[in-house]
Amino acid sequence: MTDTATVDTDVESVEEFRQRARTWIRANLAPADASSRPGPRADRTDEEELAEFARQRGLQRQLFDAGFAGIVVPEEYGGQGLTPAHAQAFNEEITGFDYPSMLQIPNFTPCMAVILAFGSHEQKLRHVPPILKGEHYWVQYLSEPGGGSDAAGAQTVATRDGDEWLLNGSKIWSSGAWRADYGLTLARTNVNVPKHRGLGVFLVPAHAPGIEMHRIEMLGGGSEFCQEFFVDVRIPESERLGDVDDGWTIGIRWLFFERSFALSPYIIRPGGGGDAFAPSEASLVRLARKSGQIDDPVARDQIGEVRADSLVAGFAQRRIAQGMRTGYLNDQGAALSRLLAGVNGTRSATVAFELAGQAGVAWDDEDDDIGQRGVSFLSRQAGQIGGGTTEMARNVISERVLGMPRERDNSRDMPWREVPKGPSSR
Amino acid sequence: MTDTATVDTDVESVEEFRQRARTWIRANLAPADASSRPGPRADRTDEEELAEFARQRGLQRQLFDAGFAGIVVPEEYGGQGLTPAHAQAFNEEITGFDYPSMLQIPNFTPCMAVILAFGSHEQKLRHVPPILKGEHYWVQYLSEPGGGSDAAGAQTVATRDGDEWLLNGSKIWSSGAWRADYGLTLARTNVNVPKHRGLGVFLVPAHAPGIEMHRIEMLGGGSEFCQEFFVDVRIPESERLGDVDDGWTIGIRWLFFERSFALSPYIIRPGGGGDAFAPSEASLVRLARKSGQIDDPVARDQIGEVRADSLVAGFAQRRIAQGMRTGYLNDQGAALSRLLAGVNGTRSATVAFELAGQAGVAWDDEDDDIGQRGVSFLSRQAGQIGGGTTEMARNVISERVLGMPRERDNSRDMPWREVPKGPSSR
Amino acid sequence: MELELTSDQEFFAETTRKFLEDKTPVSELRAKRNDPAGFDRDFWVQGAELGWTSLLVSEEDGGGSISGRPVADLALVGFEFGNHAAPGPLVPAAIVAGALSRAGSDEQKGEALGALLSGAAIGTWAFSEPRPHDALGDVTLSAEVTGDTVRLSGVKAPVESAGQAEYFFVTARTGDGLTQVLVPASTPGVAVKPMHSIDLTRRFGRLTFDGVELPASAVVGEVGRAGADVDWQTQVAVAVELSEMVGAMDRAFKMTLEWAFDRYSFGRPLASYQELKHRFADMKLWLEASHAIADGATDAVGEARPEAWDLLSAGKAYVGHYGVELMHDCVQMHGGIGVTFEHDMHLYLRRVVLGSRLYGSVAEHRGRLTSSLEQKEDAA
Amino acid sequence: MELELTSDQEFFAETTRKFLEDKTPVSELRAKRNDPAGFDRDFWVQGAELGWTSLLVSEEDGGGSISGRPVADLALVGFEFGNHAAPGPLVPAAIVAGALSRAGSDEQKGEALGALLSGAAIGTWAFSEPRPHDALGDVTLSAEVTGDTVRLSGVKAPVESAGQAEYFFVTARTGDGLTQVLVPASTPGVAVKPMHSIDLTRRFGRLTFDGVELPASAVVGEVGRAGADVDWQTQVAVAVELSEMVGAMDRAFKMTLEWAFDRYSFGRPLASYQELKHRFADMKLWLEASHAIADGATDAVGEARPEAWDLLSAGKAYVGHYGVELMHDCVQMHGGIGVTFEHDMHLYLRRVVLGSRLYGSVAEHRGRLTSSLEQKEDAA
């Protein structure tokens, strides 16, 4: 682990910290449920989901009280003021144990990461500690209906009204917003300048007056994603980040945090691997055994392929992080991390469906675990769409990492209100 | 076969013709050598290659004398004046028999096809009959070093000098030019207008004075492709096709003929299938048996995949041809045919290499047939490059068939001499 | 779908198309998402009047095709079913009627066939069995004939519209041969259990036959000699299933193509991005090739040509792979809304994914093609 | 290659890089295309002086690593070999020397090891066998020990630089165990036959042992107990082969990236076409991931960690597939010249394709990973 090379010697050493973490984890945390997968679960009712969410808030509070919350967050904001190497050690130690998986993304990153990067001292004092204590859960009010990959094209408008802003418009794909406390919100503060020069980022109570929320049913089941309609939502100027109209400076970083979630030192990531979307390979073996395909060499070949991809991904994610640290890659290298997670997730979902056999399309109750592989397969692309599409990641890699010519952006240099937003006539 | 629906009733019916062809073929042609593959062979010496080529010229003469050469070519130019349905019937009847495979492409199409489409009556009388008799073999002097996919960007210049033109420049990828009689040549007749408006097509003796020829060694072995250097090559005006400076009108059609070779009624295509690049699937079974992999289900899965692709390709090629005939597709639909042949060829070469096992990379004399699969695998992309890249085919399909916006062509509207041909500075 | 249809076929396809647009618009399919049948009985009766169940039935028996090519005509309906994600057991119902017409006794034709043709009764084909016998054509449910009684023991699953059918046409094993039996759903000892499915509109069930006894007159054709009939039924099922998949692919591709022109990103339509353009080019090729092999295989089945199975397997192997890839790429092109229940794309996605597993997986059909090649090689 | 090397490693790699650029430029590789050895002996001697053969050898035995991580140091040389498509039996020669240092008798060390370290003699590893025994680790060549004689019977192929080696380090079977024997090439009964290969610079041969008899003192380590040594040798071979492949991929990617900026089509650089840009993005990911797993697996081997084999198999499965795809995409990006002998791309393509088949195919290593998962699952 070359990471240890970067330890700041003024603070508790990584090894001391690792020992302290190991001792505490084994004394206080239950072993992880082998069958459980990180994040929300489509097969839970809202009540079960909320109960589990509350339990995990408590778990986060335990971590906070024990001095393991916000490992790389400055102490003045409730964190531990340690290094990414410490966070990595913690990830390794907590592997196999219960942790607040539902509180990680987008709460700690991109949301808390953005606040820490661009918030004023007061804003950070106000918002970061409650996040680390599990009291406030943040989601992103970023994407918009019809917005696609062009985040800077946001059509939600913020109009200045004295010390306040009035927000009007609509946001979508806010994952978990229905159970959230705050929404990090990108809105247009000036429609008379090119799109990149008239944006602002606001700290918005998730259910502020004027926000109407609609939950989106996904084809794989579940309705974790939400759409919000803003009608004259009042936000004080003190809850806006950065300089007026300069929100895109924040937006660029925000999208970077989103792409590089798999590398973020702010989240707990057992094992430190990066392919959060992939079902564990061990579960593929169990699946193939139940579906009776484990002895079919074609099935074995596919399981081995997914296993190889997953082992490679762990080292690749570490190399990408190291490369960005050492300057071998610039910050945009994070797009490599996002692309890797996306393609691996799709491939493993496809293999899982292959292994499911006929029970993957029509099944009895006792085969429900197999049938769910068919259901998941229907939304196998989700991991290449959510968190920025893999198409955008490939643009970023070729243009920002390899330095190839940028794609033409017809909306770049004209006042936002004049940008073509659809076919003039067909 | 809905093709028969299109028969012109004034001429010999397809069935009568089929009977006549069957009788003659069985009486006069030897069965095809099962192991032989169409086209030139890297494993033959030039002497063997020339001997086989001479034999096939004789075979073509036999077809001519028997009234089976140029089935859809007008009788006044030595052809039979029949329909594509007759040609298709002949393809079906000759399946499994010896035929002049080395004389088909690019001789009958694109070369003869272009002359028939754009030649004057005199030019057709002069050049078509010798082609049908096997006396003249034509190749394309079309691509240029550094020219890539932009055929209209030709840099070979033709300068008018009285009743003659002086050609200077270089051509490349002329397959079989070393044993050819004529080269169909695209050259720039005017450098002061945009590239599409200053071209000409010339009928050039393959080894005319001033042409120096260099044979290109391919990585898979063999040196069938040539490069020609033109120095003051004199061609009479009477050997130029079409109107002055209007060569691109011909060029567009020429490229169409090149892309649609698999659908051309001018060539003999046993069985009528389209994936000329693919090794036959039966040979894959023989290969897997010898390499000891025939009982490996992974190998069987791959053989089945190639077999499916090949069977599908036969029907797909027929549908594409039918679609172009019925107006379901425009002429540019031929790019679908080219794309299909390219991707199938690459996949089957890859599977062949998989089946070869360790002997595919290092082998004894007795395994030479297996080792050659490794050698062919090295140039597996050839089928996606030669005859127009699959990238160009995808551009054509999306832009000309699906009507999507064209790619930006920076060279389109400026005088050809001002077109950027490389990085100004790096 | 074939490029050159007879005017009768054009009219026939058009009629079913209009009927489905009218009776099962997307709103109706969504409304019926939790309906046990997935469709109303009168929908089925009217469909039967359009000829859905009678195409494979001889004219003497009250059926008849449109073009004299019954399988091709049925494939036209299959295409429209896929194109509209329509509910109802089209394939098994048409096959059961056709099988009765081919091999049924006058008694059976009198009793059941008339009801099936009018849609008054639904007949479905109990053919597939659960693992470990889920390979295409693997039949273990036993039919023992003693005196004038036939006794059925075993399990069939998945069986389409099992919960709605009045008749189960059961393919069973008698020693080394196959026997087919027409079983009224009300027969004692037949247990029907609904199954879950990824499809939104079609329904499947599991049938358990616990020593079910019927009069020998329930046997269709000869005991132990139904092999050829079963092979024909399976060929027709695969052929029509292929057209259903192609119909769903065709719809998804058109929706996505339109989306690419209408949807602007960075002030440009998606259709102007080269990487997306090239994926559309691949999808267009996959779609046309899928049309081609579905029609080619259907022809071969209709004309009982020896290469029919090779072509059917090639179709299932190709469409089962590229069809599913095409659908997922259509989803990807739509971005987030493509993976929502609110967008219609999944109705067609479900149909294609389901079709890729019914009547033999991609891997099974690839394996069959290789075995067939080996036989050719040995024969040569 | 690792991102953070010690200055000693930097210097070491740099030295070998400069040496290869100087001694085996592309022109030299082409000139030696039909040379039976593919390299001059003094090239090898000077390489040995740079440490190529001594990295895995203990200091007492006259060897030594650069960084205290011998396998990682050898992988650095492997990377440069791939990056320059260099000739010579780097992997087997280094392994034979290392194996002698690990298990050899003083006599063997005195006699042979010195010559191998100086490059005066070449030792190669006779491990792989021809089909049907071509699975990784399948050893059938027999070593019978009677009294003070050991008798070898069997075939080894492919053996790298078999025609140039003075010593064959033969891995053989004795009953249930493995035995390794150091065989002078001059030993009567050893037949060497050159093989064809897709590589332009490396050479392979087939060795036949027809009841070859040697003194028992030729056995390295204990009779029938070489299993652990063979496992270590194989791990090192796979690890260094991975770095060779990555070195060749790295070179091809850089060549192609430069080409994309320099080559204009329709008045624009290839690098401005989105579809090509996205393929470059995929290639960049494959390349970085291949670097990462090659280095990760090398670490695990060097530290003899239990997961070493899983990581080696993951590397061979991943790089064996994506590395080959990357090379072919580099060819495609070059167009026609990419498939000519005159262009240099194929030198690196050959190296990667060869590497994808040596020491276990993609399919073999995927199978190993699945078996390993099953064991973990059963243990859990």
Written as tens digits, the pLDDT of chain D (380 aa) is 889 999 999 999 999 999 999 999 999 999 999 999 999 999 999 999 999 999 999 999 999 999 999 999 999 999 999 999 999 999 999 999 999 999 999 999 988 999 999 999 999 999 999 999 999 999 999 999 999 999 999 999 999 999 999 999 999 999 999 999 999 999 999 999 999 999 999 999 999 999 999 999 999 999 999 999 999 999 999 999 999 999 999 999 999 999 999 999 998 999 999 999 999 999 999 999 999 999 999 999 999 999 999 999 999 999 999 999 999 999 999 999 999 999 999 999 999 999 999 999 999 999 999 999 999 888 87
Q: Residue B299 — pLDDT band, cuts 50, 70, 90? A: very high
Cβ atoms within 10 Å, residue C379: 6
β pairing state of D204-215 and D196-197: unpaired
DSSP code at position A98: -
State the Cα–Cα distance between residues A234 and B422, nearest whole angstrom: 56
Instruction: Tell me if D73 sits within 8 A of D12, measured CB to CB.
Output: yes
- Which residues of C fall within a CB distance of 8 Å from B2? 2-4
| Residue C137 and residue C108 in contact, taking contact as beta carbons nearer than 8 Å | no
Could you write out the DSSP letters of every residue in B91-154? HHHHTTB---GGGIIIIIIIIIHHHHHH--HHHHHHHHHHHHTTS--EEEE---TTTTT-GGG-
Residue A247 has pLDDT above 50, yes or no: yes
Q: What share of chain B is helix, strand, coil (3-state, %, to 5)?
A: 50, 15, 35
Mean pLDDT confidence for B171-180: 94
The mean pLDDT value for C60-89 works out to 97
3-state secondary structure of A133: coil
Alpha-carbon span B306 to C321, nearest angstrom: 13
φ and ψ at A267, to 5 degrees? -110, 155
217-276 in A: which are within 8 Å (CB) of C?
217-220, 225
Predicted pLDDT of residue C1:
87
> Which positions in chain D touch A340 (Cβ < 8 Å)?
285, 289
Question: Does B298 lie at the interface with A, CB-CB under 8 angstroms?
Answer: yes
Angle formed by the axes of helices B297-326 and C308-318, to 10°? 90
Neighbours of B238 (CB within 10 A): 12
Please give the DSSP secondary-structure letter assigned to residue C321: I
Q: How far apart are the first and last CA of chain D?
A: 35
Give me the residues of D, 131-150, that contact B with CB < 8 A.
131-132, 134
- What confidence score (pLDDT) does residue D102 get? 96
| Interatomic CA distance for residues A135 and A52, integer angstroms | 15
Determine which of B363, B365, B366, B414 to mutate to test the interface with D (most D C-beta atoms within 10 Å).
B363
Helix residue ranges per DSSP H, A71-182? 84-94, 113-118, 121-132
Kind and range of the H or E run holding A325: helix A297-326
Is residue C332 over pLDDT 90?
A: yes
Q: pLDDT at residue A8 above 90?
A: no
Strand, coil or helix: what is B377? helix
Q: By the CB < 8 Å criterion, does B334 face chain C?
A: no
Range in A29-33, B361-365, C176-180, D262-266 the model is least confident about: A29-33
Instruction: Name the pLDDT band for B202 (thresholds 50, 70, 90).
Output: very high
A384: amino acid identity, one letter = Q
| Pairs from D184-188 (Cβ < 8 Å, separation ≥ 24) | D187/D212, D187/D214, D188/D212
Closest by CA to D74, choosing from D82, D65, D83, is: D65
Range 373-392 of B in CB contact (< 8 A) with D: 374-375, 377-382, 384-386, 389, 391
Beta strands in C119-234 (DSSP E): 123-126, 142-146, 149-160, 167-174, 177-184, 190-194, 196-197, 204-215, 219-220
- Supply B152's token pair: 């209209």
The helix/strand/coil state of A202 is strand
In angstroms, rounded to a whole number, what is the distance separating the alpha carbons of residues C111 and B293? Answer: 55
Please tell me the least confidently modeled range out of A418-422, B169-173, B265-269, D255-259: A418-422
In 3-state terms, what secondary structure has residue B220? Answer: coil
Measured CA to CA, the distance from residue C53 to residue C89 in angstroms comes to 10
Per-residue pLDDT reduced to its tens digit, D169-211:
999 999 999 999 999 999 999 999 999 999 999 999 999 999 9
- For residue C120, the distance in angstroms to the closest alpha carbon of chain D comes to 53
Separation CA D364–CA D313 (nearest Å): 8
Kindly state the percentage of chain A with pLDDT values over 90: 78
Q: Check CB contact of B121 with chain A, cutoff 8 Å.
A: no
3-state secondary structure of D213: strand
Query: Residue B57 is inside which H or E element, if any?
Result: helix B46-66
Residue bearing tokens 């990487």: C275
**pLDDT tens across C279-312, in order?**
999 999 999 999 999 999 999 999 999 999 999 9
- B253-272: average pLDDT: 86
ipTM for this model: 0.93
Query: Token pair for residue A337?
Result: 């991390």
| Nearest in space to C74 (alpha carbons), one of C238, C249, C229 | C238
SS3 B214: strand
Pairing relation of β-strands B138-141 and B182-188?
parallel
- pLDDT of residue B5 exceeding 70, the answer is no
Q: How many contacts (CB atoms, under 8 Å) link C and D?
A: 10
Report CA Rg, chain C.
21
Contacts of A297 in chain B (CB under 8 A): 296-298
* Chain C residue numbers touching A381 (CB-CB < 8 A): 328, 331-332, 338-339
> What residues in C contact A217, CB-CB < 8 Å?
340-342
What per-residue confidence (pLDDT) applies to B187? 96
Token pair, residue D82, equals 């791939």
CB contacts under 8 A, C 16-75 vs A, are none
**CA A343 remoteness from chain centre:** 16
Of B374, B381, B408, nearest to D339 by CB-CB distance is B381
> Nearest-CA residue of chain B relative to C361?
B301
Helix (H) or strand (E) holding D182, with range, is strand D177-184
Is residue A426 very low, low, confident or very high in pLDDT (cuts 50, 70, 90)?
very low
Return the structure tokens found at A44.
């839970």
- The reported pLDDT for the residue numbered B414 is 86
Are the CB atoms for C153 and C210 separated by under 8 Å? yes
Q: Contact B311/C274, CB-based, under 8 Å?
A: no
Whether A399 contacts chain D with CB within 8 A: yes
CB A138 within 8 A of CB A111: yes
CA B180/CA A116 separation, integer angstroms = 73
pLDDT of residue A280: 66
Highest mean pLDDT: which range of B94-98, B182-186, D32-36: B182-186
Q: Above 50 in pLDDT, residue A276?
A: no
3-state class of C180 per DSSP? strand
E strand or H helix at A363, and its extent?
Answer: strand A362-363
Q: Which chains touch C (3 or more CB pairs under 8 A)?
A: A, B, D
Chain A residue with Cα closest to B299: A298
Read off the pLDDT of each residue in C229-251 and give the average, rounded to a whole number.
98
Please name the chains neighbouring B, where neighbouring means 3+ C-beta pairs under 8 angstroms: A, C, D
Which SS3 state, helix, strand or coil, does residue D338 take?
helix
* Among chain C residues, CA nearest to A415: C267
Which residue, among C174, C166, C200, C170, has the nearest Cα to C182 in the 3D structure? Answer: C170
**CB contacts, 8 Å: B311 with chain C:** 293, 310-311, 314, 369
> Of B274, B304, B287, which is closest to residue B359 (Cα–Cα)?
B287
Of the pLDDT bands very low, low, confident and very high (cuts 50, 70, 90), residue A316 is very high
Average pLDDT (B361-388) is 93
Read off the pLDDT of residues B30-70 as tens digits, 9 standing for 90 and up. 988 644 444 455 667 899 999 999 999 999 999 999 999 99
Query: Is the pLDDT higher at A280 or at A109?
Result: A109
Cβ-count burial of B42 within 10 angstroms (0-12 exposed, 13-18 middle, 19+ buried)? middle
Average pLDDT over every residue of B333-344: 94
* Residue-level length of chain C: 380
The pLDDT, as a whole number, for residue B40 is 52
Closest CB to C3: pick one of B285, B319, B407: B319
Of A150, A172, A379, the CB nearest to C339: A379
Angle in degrees, CA A359, A364, A370, rounded to 5: 40
Residue C124's pLDDT band (cuts 50, 70, 90) = very high
CB contact under 8 A, A285 and D380: no
Task: Tell me the pLDDT band of A275, cut-offs 50, 70 and 90.
Answer: very low
Cross-chain Cβ contact B404/C277 below 8 Å: yes
| Dihedral of alpha carbons B382, C322, C344, A212, sign | negative
Of C282, C293, C373, the CB nearest to B307: C373
As given in the structure block, the two tokens for residue D284 are 């960049």
Q: Is B406 near chain A, with CB under 8 Å?
A: no
Q: How far apart are the C-alpha atoms of B289 and B266, rounded to whole Å?
A: 38
Task: Copy the structure tokens of residue C271.
Answer: 């259709």
Cα separation of A398 and A109, whole Å?
25
Q: What is the pLDDT of residue B229?
A: 97
In this model, does residue B356 exceed pLDDT 80? yes
Q: Are A422 and C264 in contact (CB under 8 A)?
A: yes
Q: What is the CA radius of gyration of chain D?
A: 21
Give the nearest partner residue to C292 out of B300, B316, B399, using CB atoms. B316
